[in-house]
């Protein structure tokens, strides 16, 4: 479903801003948390939200009731008159919510008819002063729709403060709420006894100076955004969950009483809250999620930096060289919660998590928490592939091998989100690419280094078989499918399906039909190349820098937020070199840790760290929709022997001839550079990046040429002509493969010698495929 056209400005948010002078008068002598410097009027640093939550789950109905006390310290530099909250679960309350409307009433391609979820505020009270009384603000509660005018959407509400809250002041908020967990279809809820409970409590939005409350409705394509702080959460659960609960943070208490279990978590852990991280900051988190399942099997191991440093010494050396400091990362306890059928993959989950902790830590700064929890969601729960502070859900399948990058790919990616989004808390509504895209870039780098190429497979009855088909199965269209005995479309009222399906897709039968051992080809893909393929699915519809719900459709959101950003970053790395790139990224990660950067903050911070001027690059690649396709063409000629009449010194014309036409030229007669080469470079598209072209000659010598950005801006082509002693063997654009942004890599190189075998090799596969199919289908006749 296409979203309604929006203007380019940010969506409406609250503008309840008190002028500075009256805000200064409103500063109260509230007790401020001691650890951070409070922002005074006009100054800005991230506000802070500390939650203490108690919640009780009814095991039968999956109703979750709770109460919380929130201490919010306003450090926006402005005074605030109201508070805006998210009630994310209301996105699943009915099919009129913005979330369900945008997804056509479907979650995971299925109409939602039952398993709804909702959240209702029962009481809400606020108090300003530390010892002040609480005032009931429930009568002022109003549901807001800052992004659309959908009155049925209840995912955002606001309440009025009895008096303005000045910058530097803290408000305490007590909320009681009732909720019904939804059947897990999009990240949160339950499935049988499995629980993954995310975005489950009334969560404060983010107040931004000059912008007001940034508290968007829960869209189909957007994720989350909230202030950093601490969480102290006590859960009262049925007894069957004893010992089977995981959550953000550290478990400090676990007791049973009257057939129930009470478990308490603190995030970050008490020890982490007392120490400074590698960048000299006190760790904080901006969300709390928990999970439980009586079927969980628990695997615990510790990540040790030294183990990985010994495995990748060259990476450590490179980091040392680039950053000028000795790399060292803290130990992290890794807890993996697995379902029984995936128990055999426990070490793989652990290793993939460690791979992310190692490389992301090496490049962007140490993971500051003492623990991390990895969740294998229940079958059918649709809760996998999602990140939360110090906890993430991955997802795997039976029969997956390491070279299929399952579960390694999703595990590295979701663990990587601890850094991009977890530690650097971008606004996932408005700038999803700032975490997804940076993470996509990084996880591909990790996967390629640790796991190598990704193996392509084809499934038969959920069992992956190595390789893929070269050609399509016979059929296509109504006539084709009928001829190939797949299906015949006829009206069959008594069956209700207008098709006679002869041969249904069926694992064992299809395997016998396809004979993969004879017909399939291996397919191996570099994860970085996979990013490029993802980007090219929709390379030029929307700019990367687009708010999450404002892309033309979900595909554009997916392409731009993930692979296109990854490709743009990788290309940037190719442009400025590894050292400058990683310095820029690390500087951004350090500067904005526990804070909320926007795109302009990234651009500025990156340039500061890298020492490069790159405004043009960010403007063209992140804010524009330009693409590029470079191509190369080569013409190579050998000097022909002299023929015809040539004028002699005396003036007469004499025919050039030899006594023996087969006689070879003497050394004096032979041209020194018998080969004349013309290399033509072309550019299609708007982007201009300096390009290296490498010519390799028959004697293995090489010559590099550069087509500069300025030259490309002046003309869309360039010709290189030269005379050479040796024959040109190849001409390749971007020989080091520094750029991944090219729309078509097939025209980027030229080789004098043609591959004679490869066409026969692939034709043999096609022949085998169709011959086996025809033999199989012949059996239906006799």
Instruction: Out of 149, 258, 325, 472, point to the residue binding another protein (CB under 8 A).
Output: 472
Asked whether position 750 contacts another protein by CB under 8 A, the answer is yes
Asked whether position 473 contacts another protein by CB under 8 A, the answer is yes
Q: Work out how close the CB of 782 gets to another protein at its nearest, in angstroms, rounded to a whole number.
A: 3
Tokens standing for 191?
Answer: 């499935």
Residues ≥6 apart with Cβ < 8 Å to 398 = 341, 342, 462
Q: Work out how close the CB of 694 gets to another protein at its nearest, in angstroms, rounded to a whole number.
A: 13
How many Å apart are CA 559 and CA 556, to the nearest integer? Answer: 5
Asked whether position 759 contacts another protein by CB under 8 A, the answer is yes
How many Å apart are CA 653 and CA 24, to the nearest integer? Answer: 102
- Partner residues linked to 236 by β-bridges: 56, 262
Q: Residues 368 to 407: which contact another protein by CB under 8 A?
A: 378-380, 397-398
Are the C-beta atoms of residues 545 and 599 closer than 8 Å to each other?
A: yes
Q: Work out how close the CB of 760 gets to another protein at its nearest, in angstroms, rounded to a whole number.
A: 6
Asked whether position 757 contacts another protein by CB under 8 A, the answer is yes
Asked whether position 694 contacts another protein by CB under 8 A, the answer is no
Instruction: Out of 243, 476, 498, 611, point to the residue binding another protein (CB under 8 A).
Output: 476
Q: Work out how close the CB of 671 gets to another protein at its nearest, in angstroms, rounded to a whole number.
A: 24
Are the C-beta atoms of residues 321 and 411 closer than 8 Å to each other?
A: no
Instruction: Out of 45, 150, 174, 523, point to the residue binding another protein (CB under 8 A).
Output: 523
Asked whether position 346 contacts another protein by CB under 8 A, the answer is no
- Partner residues linked to 628 by β-bridges: 685, 742
Q: Residues 632 to 651: which contact another protein by CB under 8 A?
A: 634
Asked whether position 744 contacts another protein by CB under 8 A, the answer is yes
Instruction: Out of 27, 129, 509, 614, point to the residue binding another protein (CB under 8 A).
Output: 509
Q: Work out how close the CB of 512 gets to another protein at its nearest, in angstroms, rounded to a whole number.
A: 8
Tokens standing for 196?
Answer: 């993954």
Are the C-beta atoms of residues 281 and 261 closer than 8 Å to each other?
A: no
Asked whether position 680 contacts another protein by CB under 8 A, the answer is no
Asked whether position 462 contacts another protein by CB under 8 A, the answer is yes
Asked whether position 495 contacts another protein by CB under 8 A, the answer is yes
- Partner residues linked to 693 by β-bridges: 705, 733
Asked whether position 498 contacts another protein by CB under 8 A, the answer is no
How many Å apart are CA 242 and CA 256, to the nearest integer? Answer: 8
DSSP-derived pairing of the beta strands 391-393 and 371-375 = parallel
Asked whether position 480 contacts another protein by CB under 8 A, the answer is yes
Instruction: Out of 27, 32, 484, 579, point to the residue binding another protein (CB under 8 A).
Output: 484
Q: Round the CA-based radius of gyration of the chain to a whole number and report it.
A: 32
Q: Work out how close the CB of 457 gets to another protein at its nearest, in angstroms, rounded to a whole number.
A: 12
Side-chain-facing half-sphere of 332: CA atoms under 13 Å = 31
Q: Work out how close the CB of 459 gets to another protein at its nearest, in angstroms, rounded to a whole number.
A: 10
* Sole residue written with tokens 């901006």: 286
Asked whether position 109 contacts another protein by CB under 8 A, the answer is no
Are the C-beta atoms of residues 624 and 588 closer than 8 Å to each other?
A: no
- Partner residues linked to 501 by β-bridges: 487
- Which one, of 332, 334, 308, lies nearest residue 319 by Cα? 308
Are the C-beta atoms of residues 583 and 413 closer than 8 Å to each other?
A: no
* Beta strands per DSSP E along 585-649: 628-638, 644-647
Q: Work out how close the CB of 652 gets to another protein at its nearest, in angstroms, rounded to a whole number.
A: 45
Asked whether position 751 contacts another protein by CB under 8 A, the answer is yes
Instruction: Out of 28, 485, 614, 722, point to the residue binding another protein (CB under 8 A).
Output: 485
Asked whether position 501 contacts another protein by CB under 8 A, the answer is yes
Are the C-beta atoms of residues 596 and 430 closer than 8 Å to each other?
A: no
Q: Which stretch binds another protein (CB under 8 A): 202-210, 540-548, 697-705, 755-763?
A: 755-763
* Distance of alpha carbon 387 from the chain centroid: 11
Stated as kind and residue range, the H or E segment containing 597 is: none
> Mind giving me the DSSP string for 442-455?
HHHHHHHHHH-SEE
Asked whether position 702 contacts another protein by CB under 8 A, the answer is no
Asked whether position 595 contacts another protein by CB under 8 A, the answer is no
Nearer to another protein among residue 40 and residue 506 (C-beta):
506
Q: Which stretch binds another protein (CB under 8 A): 132-140, 590-598, 643-651, 748-756?
A: 748-756
Q: Which stretch binds another protein (CB under 8 A): 47-55, 158-166, 488-496, 620-628?
A: 488-496
- Which one, of 271, 226, 263, 231, lies nearest residue 248 by Cα? 231
Asked whether position 714 contacts another protein by CB under 8 A, the answer is no
How many residues bind another protein (CB under 8 A)? The answer is: 95
Nearer to another protein among residue 212 and residue 566 (C-beta):
566
Instruction: Out of 294, 680, 730, 735, point to the residue binding another protein (CB under 8 A).
Output: 730
Instruction: Out of 251, 264, 282, 529, point to the residue binding another protein (CB under 8 A).
Output: 529
Site map 535..574 versus another protein, x via CB under 8 A: -x--------------------------------------
* Beta strands per DSSP E along 199-309: 203-204, 206-208, 212-214, 231-238, 245-247, 250-257, 260-267, 290-292, 297-303
Q: Work out how close the CB of 502 gets to another protein at its nearest, in angstroms, rounded to a whole number.
A: 5
Task: For the chain, give the number of residues.
Answer: 782
Are the C-beta atoms of residues 543 and 624 closer than 8 Å to each other?
A: yes
Count other C-beta atoms under 10 Å from residue 407's C-beta.
24
Q: Residues 178 to 217: which contact another protein by CB under 8 A?
A: 192
Asked whether position 500 contacts another protein by CB under 8 A, the answer is yes
Asked whether position 700 contacts another protein by CB under 8 A, the answer is no
Asked whether position 241 contacts another protein by CB under 8 A, the answer is no
Nearer to another protein among residue 179 and residue 406 (C-beta):
406
How many Å apart are CA 294 and CA 260, to the nearest integer? Answer: 13
CA angle 704, 708, 710 (to 5 degrees): 165
Asked whether position 493 contacts another protein by CB under 8 A, the answer is no
Are the C-beta atoms of residues 246 and 292 closer than 8 Å to each other?
A: yes
- Which one, of 165, 158, 143, lies nearest residue 204 by Cα? 158
Asked whether position 22 contacts another protein by CB under 8 A, the answer is no
Asked whether position 532 contacts another protein by CB under 8 A, the answer is yes
Instruction: Out of 562, 622, 707, 773, point to the residue binding another protein (CB under 8 A).
Output: 773
Nearer to another protein among residue 702 and residue 771 (C-beta):
771
Asked whether position 341 contacts another protein by CB under 8 A, the answer is yes
């Amino acid at each position: 479903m296409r979203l309604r056209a929006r203007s380019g400005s940010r969506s409406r948010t609250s503008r309840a801003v008190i002028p500075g002078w009256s805000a200064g008068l409103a500063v109260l002598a509230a007790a401020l948390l001691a650890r951070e410097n409070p922002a005074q009027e006009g100054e800005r640093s991230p506000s802070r939200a500390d939650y203490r939550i108690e919640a009780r789950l009814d095991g039968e109905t999956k109703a979750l009731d709770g109460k919380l006390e929130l201490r919010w310290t306003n450090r926006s530099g402005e005074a605030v008159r109201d508070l805006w909250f998210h009630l994310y679960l209301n996105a699943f309350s009915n099919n009129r919510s913005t979330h369900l409307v945008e997804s056509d009433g479907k979650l995971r391609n299925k109409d939602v008819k039952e398993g709804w979820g909702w959240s209702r505020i029962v009481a809400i009270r606020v108090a300003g002063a530390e010892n002040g009384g609480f005032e009931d603000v429930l009568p002022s509660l109003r549901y807001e729709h800052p992004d659309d005018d959908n009155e049925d959407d209840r995912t955002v509400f606001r309440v009025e403060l009895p008096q303005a809250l000045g910058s530097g002041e803290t408000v305490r908020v007590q909320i009681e709420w009732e909720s019904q967990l939804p059947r897990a279809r999009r990240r949160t809820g339950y499935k049988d006894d499995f629980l993954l409970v995310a975005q489950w409590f009334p969560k404060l939005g983010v107040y931004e100076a000059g912008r007001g409350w940034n508290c968007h409705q829960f869209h189909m394509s957007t994720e989350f955004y909230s202030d950093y702080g601490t969480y102290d959460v006590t859960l009262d659960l049925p007894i069957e969950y004893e010992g089977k609960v995981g959550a953000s943070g550290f478990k400090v208490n676990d007791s049973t009483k009257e057939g129930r279990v009470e478990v308490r978590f603190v995030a970050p852990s008490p020890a982490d809250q007392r120490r400074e991280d590698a960048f000299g900051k006190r760790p904080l988190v901006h969300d709390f999620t928990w999970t439980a399942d009586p079927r969980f099997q628990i695997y615990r191991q510790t990540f040790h930096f030294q183990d990985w440093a010994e495995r990748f010494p060259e990476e450590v050396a490179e980091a040392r060289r680039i950053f000028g400091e000795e790399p060292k990362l803290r130990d992290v306890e890794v807890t993996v919660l697995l379902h029984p059928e995936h128990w055999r993959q426990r070490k793989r989950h652990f290793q993939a998590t460690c791979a992310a902790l190692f490389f992301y830590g090496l490049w962007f700064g140490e993971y500051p928490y003492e623990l991390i929890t990895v969740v294998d969601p229940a079958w059918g729960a649709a809760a996998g592939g999602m990140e939360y502070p110090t906890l993430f859900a991955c997802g795997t399948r039976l029969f997956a091998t390491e070279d299929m990058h399952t579960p390694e790919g999703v595990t590295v990616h979701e663990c990587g989100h601890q850094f991009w989004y977890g530690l650097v808390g971008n606004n996932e509504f408005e700038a999803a690419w700032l975490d997804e895209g940076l993470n996509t870039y990084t996880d591909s780098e990790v996967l390629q280094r640790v796991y190598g190429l990704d193996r392509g497979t084809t499934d038969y009855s959920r069992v992956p078989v190595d390789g893929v088909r070269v050609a399509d199965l016979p059929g296509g269209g109504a006539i084709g499918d009928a001829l190939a005995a797949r299906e015949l479309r006829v009206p069959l009222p008594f069956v209700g399906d207008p098709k006679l399906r002869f041969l249904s897709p069926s694992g064992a039968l299809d395997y016998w039909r396809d004979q993969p051992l004879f017909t399939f080809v291996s397919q191996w893909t570099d994860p970085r190349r996979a990013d490029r393929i993802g980007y090219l699915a929709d390379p030029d519809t929307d700019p990367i820098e687009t708010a999450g719900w404002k892309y033309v459709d979900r595909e554009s959101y997916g392409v731009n937020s993930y692979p296109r950003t990854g490709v743009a970053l990788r290309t940037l790395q190719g442009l400025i070199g590894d050292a400058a790139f990683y310095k820029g990224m690390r500087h951004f990660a350090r500067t904005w840790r526990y804070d909320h950067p926007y795109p302009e903050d990234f651009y500025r911070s990156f340039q500061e760290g890298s020492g490069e001027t790159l405004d043009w690059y960010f403007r063209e690649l992140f804010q524009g929709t330009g693409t590029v396709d470079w191509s190369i063409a080569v013409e190579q000629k050998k000097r022909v022997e002299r023929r015809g009449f040539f004028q002699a010194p005396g003036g007469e014309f004499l025919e050039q001839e030899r006594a023996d036409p087969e006689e070879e030229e003497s050394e004096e007669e032979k041209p020194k550079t018998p080969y004349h080469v013309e290399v033509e470079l072309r550019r299609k598209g708007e982007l201009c990046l300096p390009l290296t072209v490498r010519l390799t000659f028959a004697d293995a010598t090489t010559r590099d040429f550069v087509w500069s950005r300025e030259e490309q801006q002046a003309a869309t082509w360039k010709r290189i002509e030269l005379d050479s002693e040796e024959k040109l063997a190849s001409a390749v654009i971007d020989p080091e493969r520094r750029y991944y942004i090219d729309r078509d890599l097939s025209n980027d190189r030229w080789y004098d010698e043609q591959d004679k075998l490869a066409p026969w090799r692939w034709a043999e596969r096609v022949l085998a495929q169709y011959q086996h199919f025809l033999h199989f289908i012949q059996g239906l006749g006799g």
